Amino acid sequence: MCKIIAIANQKGGVGKTTTTGNLGIGLASAGKKVLLIDADAQGSLTASLGYEEPDAMEYTLATILGKIINEEEFDIQEGILHHEEGVDLMPSNIELSGLEVSLVNVMSREMVLKEYLEQIKDQYDYCLIDCMPSLGMVTVNAFAAADSVLIPVQAAYLPAKGLEQLIKTIRKVKRQINPHLEIEGILMTMVDERTNYAREIMRLLTEGYGGQIHFFKNNIPLSVRAAETSAMGISIYEHDPKGKVADAYRELTEEILSDMKGGVAV
Ligand code: ATP
Ligand code: MG
């Protein structure tokens, strides 16, 4: 049984890509078979795993989804990259933004990514989808295909408004397209331990959503070490194995593996 988790927040720069990469590699180190899907035309996940020029790539998610839309045959392994830290990656590049526009006129346009994942998921224990910072068609495709959504929230500002809209979209997809969809939890990222922001924001969020939404027990601390990995093609476990961010992502991995929340309804 493969668990599909979309990592999403339409707010930019909150740690979606960093979380997808490091959670994925954490799960792979625990012996799980992991497929990462870069569902962002910026190709940040692809680049952060060391594939330097996503835009020069021939086979990407856009290629595959295009073939599904056009009902062309393709090899299910096509385009999948094998990273040395044990995860597989379906990369993305700028072509995904063209595909997003063309999706609007496609029949079952919300289900294209699901159709792909249905064919490949048996080969994996976990599939993590790194969503782009928008709630457009590709992100809706990710919600339609996923079992749950993990929401990284940056601890430096009050995200209430944006979060409200994100949760509304998730509920709508659950109602109309994917009744199994759950919220995996809210993950506080880039937490600066020198300030009380994180605690204050978490207090406000739990006041608003506590009981409805799971909050991950551990936060991801702010650290220049984490920022450095984006340009290096390696995980935080390789770059700074003893650091606090590596520890935090190890704990998040444990929490996902133990699946303690036991399915909170959206
Ligand atoms: P986008 O919305 O553009 O896709 P994102 O939500 O995927 O952004 P990331 O790319 O993961 O966010 O992170 C944004 C920036 O913050 C990156 O430069 C990343 O290296 C940095 N960053 C991520 N996590 C941390 C952290 N714990 N401490 C410090 N910097 C971090
Ligand atoms: Mg990103």
- Of 240, 56, 230, nearest in space to 130 by CA: 230
In short, whether 187's Cβ falls inside 6 Å of ligand 1 is no
Looking at residue 159, what is its pLDDT? 67
Q: What is the DSSP string of the chain?
A: --EEEEE--SSTTSSHHHHHHHHHHHHHHTT--EEEEEE-TT-HHHHHTT---GGG-SS-HHHHHHHHHTT----TTTT-EE-TTS-EEE---THHHHHHHHHTTSTTTTSHHHHHHHHHGGG-SEEEEEE-SS-SHHHHHHHHH-SEEEEEEETTS--HHHHHHHHHHHHHHHHHT-TT-EEEEEEEESB-TTSSHHHHHHHHHHHHHBTTB-B-SSPPBP-HHHHHHTTTTS-HHHH-TTSHHHHHHHHHHHHHHHTTT-----
Neighbours of ion ligand 2 (CB under 5 A): 16-17, 44
Residue 109: CB atoms within 10 Å: 15
Among protein residues, the one with the nearest Cα to ligand 1's atom 20 is 227
- Domain 3-265, CATH class in plain words: alpha beta
11 lines ligand 1 (CB under 6 A): no
* Ligand closest in space to the Cα of 192: 1
Residue among 9, 11, 17 whose CB has most ligand 1 atoms within 8 A, to mutate? 17
18: left (phi over 0), alpha (psi -120 to 50) or beta: alpha
**All structural domains of the chain with their residue ranges:** 3-265
Render each residue's pLDDT in the chain as its tens digit; 266 residues.
999 999 999 999 999 999 999 999 999 999 999 999 999 999 999 999 999 888 999 999 999 999 999 999 999 999 999 999 999 999 999 999 999 998 988 889 999 999 999 999 999 999 999 999 999 999 999 999 999 999 999 877 676 668 889 999 999 999 999 999 999 999 999 998 888 877 888 788 888 887 788 989 889 999 999 999 988 889 999 999 999 999 999 999 999 999 855 444 44
Distance 230 CA to ligand 1 centre (A): 8
Nearest CA to ligand 1 atom 2: 12
195 CA from centroid of ligand 1 (Å): 19
